[in-house]
Amino acid sequence: MKRREFVIKSLGVGVVGSMAPLFGGLDALASAPSSTGTYDLVAVRGGEPIDMFNKAMESLGGMGKFVKRGQKVLVKPNIGWDTAPERAANTNPDLVGRIVKSCFEAGASDVYVFDHTCDQWDRCYKNSQIEAAVKANGGTIVPGNNERNYREVSIPGAKILKTTKVHELLLTTDVFINVPVLKHHGSTTVSLAIKNLMGAVWDRRFYHANDLSQCIADFLAYRKPDLNIIDGYRMMTKNGPRGVSTADVVELKALIAGADIVAVDAAATMMFGSKPEDINHIKIANDMGFGTMQIDKLSINRIRV
């Protein structure tokens, strides 16, 4: 058995140990000091989704740092699968609802939520409980299942993904908030913030046929999210991205947030006992200059709720 497979299979009993680099104290991982009282990256552990989000945003300077009055916001969770929240295939609905509410509190005029789902879109939206959470907090849930709502864009600087069709919301909103769930993925080992952006394009077959990892990274040459919040309340440890049952899931009660999508993903890989450089699309994104996986250079706040 390969080391990475062993680590993933051992997460059910060893997850606390694998979290040590992030939550084992400030001396476990070097961190640049914060001169302003706010941080580049926040890792929260031990609370409910809303409580962890509130703590993280306080450390990042509040949602008002990212959303200004009158702006339109796009929130992109993972809603790809027709499963219940307990399966951890989709982003936690309570977290998504709180993010929508927080955007309005910061003065947003409109908050839209969508995903290009893999299973039937209306069942995904309903059974993930994300649709209800969005509506309860005043947001607008938008289907992502029709090609007519996608627009072709060019991606200067991309190596393979030179053009793609993106959902029109990426063209008409001011702020882009990326909210993936932390989980295993059979093709890319992990599915985190960078991987979650595949749900914003129409033709994912092109990715799989033309160097998946490079295409995933290339998308960042088009648009990087303004804020990334990784939902690790429940973590799918195997059989991703859809999962088979709740036996694939551990209740981790964790959340990682930051503006640098590469740094956020680099930190989250530690939850799988992996190194960022072992995940191809993260290393490629780092090497292309879309962010840094050298998180010891960043100011990190580790919070236990």
pLDDT of residue 194: 98
* Domain assignment present for 10: no
Residue 131 belongs to what domain range?
A: 42-304
From 11-15, 135-139, 246-250, 263-267, the region with the lowest mean pLDDT:
11-15
From 227, 203, 205, select the one nearest 291 (Cα to Cα). 227
Is 207 in contact with 198 (CB distance < 8 Å)?
yes
* Domain assignment present for 7: no
* Rounded-to-integer distance, Cα 298 and Cα 41, Å: 7
* Domain assignment present for 208: yes
Mean of the per-residue pLDDT values of the chain:
90
What are the backbone dihedrals phi and psi of residue 241, each rounded to the nearest 5 degrees, phi first? -90, -10
Q: How confident is the model at residue 10 (pLDDT cuts 50, 70, 90)?
A: very low
Number of domains within the chain: 1
* Rounded-to-integer distance, Cα 214 and Cα 182, Å: 20
pLDDT of residue 16: 42
Q: How confident is the model at residue 151 (pLDDT cuts 50, 70, 90)?
A: very high
Query: Which amino acid belongs to residue 70?
Result: G
* Domain assignment present for 17: no
Average pLDDT rounded to a whole number, residues 250-274: 93
* Domain assignment present for 157: yes
What's the CATH number where 52 sits?
3.40.50.11440
* Domain assignment present for 27: no
User: Is 28's pLDDT higher than 50?
Assistant: no
* Domain assignment present for 97: yes
Query: What does pTM read for this prediction?
Result: 0.91
pLDDT of residue 26: 30
Is 275 in contact with 220 (CB distance < 8 Å)?
no
* Domain assignment present for 37: no
- Write the pLDDT tens digit of every residue in 80-127: 999 999 999 999 999 999 999 999 999 999 999 999 999 999 999 999
Buried b (16+ CB within 10 A) or exposed e, 186-216: eebbbbbbbbbbbbbbbbeebbeeebbbbbb
